[in-house]
Amino acid sequence: MTANDRASSRRDSGYGDDRLSDPPVLPPAAEPPAPAAPGRPTFPEFARGTLPEWALVRLRFDPTEIADVRDAVRSALDPVMVTIQPGARVCLAVGSRGIDRIDGVVRAVVERVREAGASVFIVPSMGSHGGATAEGQLEVLADFGITPESMGCDIRSSMETVELGEVRPGVPVFVDRNAFEGADVIVPINRVKVHTDFTGPIESGLMKMIAIGLGKQKGADTLHRQGFAVFHELIPAVAAHTLARAPIPFGLALVENDRARLLHIEAVPADRIATREPELLVMATEALARIPVPTIDVLVLDEIGKDISGLGLDSNVVGRYYLGPTGVPPAVQRIVVRDLTVQTEGNAVGIGIADVVLRRAVEKIDRRKTYMNCITAKTPEGARVPITVDTDREALDIALACCLKVEPRDARIVRVRDTKHLELLYVSAPALPDLLVAGNCEVVEPLRPIAFDEAGMFVDRLA
């Protein structure tokens, strides 16, 4: 082919000099598929087979919990109140997790600090949560009942930080400016629990709040850039660096039981946090609720959200992380997510772990909050939206169609409210024997068909 032939060919293809040929006519952009009519599946090809029956089951958990939060907080604070002098300015660092009765805990601390003759204010200590804005973090606290009016003190929300030097070359340490410059005493208040992204003797708790929560978006981003693989050593190092430079005499550690109710409250002196927190983590791990079914074909979660878990859904409960199975039971083939919690305020981090989601959940996603959280954590996978359908019936059909070697009538299906509240769950007949053999449950409502209303949504409700 000659040079002229090649030039002619380019012109004929629409890639040559636009003065010599008309521009190509492109077809109109395809419209996104419209939602299906109520009850009508978008993918009828997968609406096949008879589903198994399921039963409502109650897991028997340890009923031990703290009845009087105010009294428990005051008792925990008694040994450390000597560190708060009359006239001192005390800052309470409060995070974004949906901790049981956290408003009562914080209010009791405010009350006790004031009795000591000190003034008090609160700072949101939640890294990049709430869209990494001062206003967004105030909204997160308000959702937990923590407002200036309910607490009787100021809440000073800002994303400004102070740098406290480097914990290692290239890893600066940050702390909330309001806390560092405006307080004589800083008291972190946080739940100690198993983390969803890494393992170690120190996971989620006081040290993580000191290292990341109080560091705001800058601190969270800096540490996450190092990767979760080093968090087990980096968080204690950063926390120790901050404790040596910031006025933190103690932290208030909270542990929940397997029903997500407060089990233990303890004020831990700063010089004991590094040794005491691993012991509290053992307590929290032993109390963690799990689904006692070794293999599940489809796990249905009614809701996910930041108030449920930092990951939206707890990887320790579903046995799955972004990269695949964690190796800890249950082994789950497919996960369906039906909705977002109200308290998550549109933050859908972790939705990417699911396989099928309902459209109503997707439509509630706040991209700013979700993306900011996932970018800061260096886990963009968490914001990826799975296959989206309109109804529970189709979500279940498609999830089953994506399973290996499973006929719908033989499917091992489990449905729970979320990964934090596991006391009540629906379990299909093929999976029920495994649950019953564990001996820590009772059938509340016997086997019956998995029923849907005319719109294709579950008839059965979970409290």
CA distance to 20, 172, 186, per residue, from 241 (Å): 69, 10, 15
d(CA 21, CA 8): 10
d(CA 355, CA 392): 13
List the pLDDT tens digit at each of the 463 positions of the chain. 433 343 333 333 333 333 333 444 444 444 444 555 555 677 888 886 789 999 999 999 988 999 999 999 999 999 999 999 999 999 999 998 789 999 999 999 999 999 999 999 999 999 988 889 999 999 999 999 999 999 999 999 999 999 999 999 999 999 999 999 999 999 999 999 988 888 889 988 999 999 999 999 999 999 999 998 999 999 999 999 999 999 999 999 999 999 899 999 999 999 999 999 999 999 999 999 899 999 999 999 999 999 999 899 999 999 999 888 888 899 999 999 999 999 999 999 999 999 999 999 999 999 999 999 999 999 999 999 999 999 999 999 999 999 999 999 999 999 999 999 999 999 999 999 998 887 789 999 999 999 999 999 999 999 7
- Residue ranges with strand state E in 15-97: 53-59, 89-94
- CB within 8 Å of 184: residues ≥ 6 apart: 85, 88, 89, 90, 247
Domain limits, the chain: 44-61+290-449, 69-287
pTM of the model: 0.83
- Overall fold of domain 69-287: Rossmann fold (3.40.50)
d(CA 318, CA 420): 11
3-state secondary structure of 155: strand
